[in-house]
């Protein structure tokens, strides 16, 4: 099989109705994978783009943080026939100074970004190990997996946790053929960064630090996600790949 081919694979991408998740789902489909989109609502545009590539798109209605992860994975396997790749993209963010941050905002972000990611991955990995075929798990980390940020305490905690879980899961499952890695997007032009881009001072501060001189686009993640999902990364375990325009190098 060609190094970057995903022919015959089934990939589940959470939160793929738009933005980064949509771009990664389409990239995986371009490489040959069928896609299970786990979203709170229908992702019609993503479906159209995946099906235009001749791949299957399966809609799975799921609300992370509320629905049981075991049930989500069971439905994905039943609908897709198998599960070879899991991309944990869905996430949320709440902004407020640490001195004022509420317990509700803490719990809601941690439940979706960290707890749901862990238990979805646990059940997906069990399936991959029991099948004996291994698989690829890709978490979506953040620049705030490496840095503290400001006004996003629960988001920073959750994404720092993702960095640690990526390493722990790789330590436990690498020998069983399950690759666990993460992508840390830099500052991307998505809904999550709308508030930053709308703030002239913050936007200028951010752009001035990015060596590439621009905000990232969702399509900038396409190569990274295909690499980490494909045979090309079979000996890559526990790594968090920054796709950041050079932000961390500054």
- Concatenating the DSSP letter of every residue in 19-63 gives HHHHHHHHHHHHTT-EEEEEESS--HHHHHHHHHTT--EEEEE--
What's phi and psi for 60, nearest 5 deg? -125, 110
CB 216 within 8 A of CB 244: yes
CB 137 within 8 A of CB 89: no
With CA atoms as reference, report the closest residue to 216 among 138, 152, 161, 143: 143
168: which residues sit within 8 A by CB, 6+ positions away?
none
CB 116 within 8 A of CB 67: no
The residue annotated as part of the active site, out of 57, 155, 187, 235, is 155
Tokens representing 109 are 């972000």
**155 a catalytic residue:** yes
With CA atoms as reference, report the closest residue to 182 among 235, 221, 144, 138: 138
Residue with tokens 């070879």: 84
Give CA–CA dist 219/206, Å, rounded.
20
Residue with tokens 């738009």: 18
Which amino acids are annotated catalytic? 155
């Amino acid at each position: 099989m060609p190094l970057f081919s995903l022919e015959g694979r089934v990939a589940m991408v959470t939160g793929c109705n738009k933005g980064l998740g949509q771009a990664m789902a389409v990239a995986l489909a371009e490489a040959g994978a069928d896609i299970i989109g786990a979203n709170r609502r229908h992702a019609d545009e993503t479906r159209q783009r995946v099906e235009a590539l001749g791949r299957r798109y399966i809609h799975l209605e799921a609300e992370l943080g509320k629905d049981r992860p075991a049930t989500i994975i069971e439905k994905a396997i039943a609908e897709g026939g198998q599960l070879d790749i899991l991309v944990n993209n869905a996430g949320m963010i709440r902004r407020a100074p640490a001195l004022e941050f509420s317990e509700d905002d803490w719990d809601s972000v941690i439940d979706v970004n960290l707890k749901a990611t862990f238990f979805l991955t646990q059940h997906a990995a069990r399936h991959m190990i029991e099948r004996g075929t291994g698989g690829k798990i890709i978490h979506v980390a953040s620049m705030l997996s490496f840095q503290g940020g400001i006004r996003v305490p629960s988001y920073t905690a959750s994404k720092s946790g993702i960095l640690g879980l990526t390493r722990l899961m790789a330590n436990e499952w690498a020998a069983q053929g399950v690759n666990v890695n993460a992508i840390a997007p830099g500052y991307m032009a998505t809904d999550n960064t709308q508030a930053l881009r709308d703030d002239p001072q913050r936007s200028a501060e951010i752009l001035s630090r990015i060596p590439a001189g621009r905000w990232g686009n969702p399509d900038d993640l396409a190569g990274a996600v295909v690499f980490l999902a494909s045979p090309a990364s079979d000996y890559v375990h526990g790594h968090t790949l920054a796709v950041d325009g050079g932000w961390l190098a500054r």
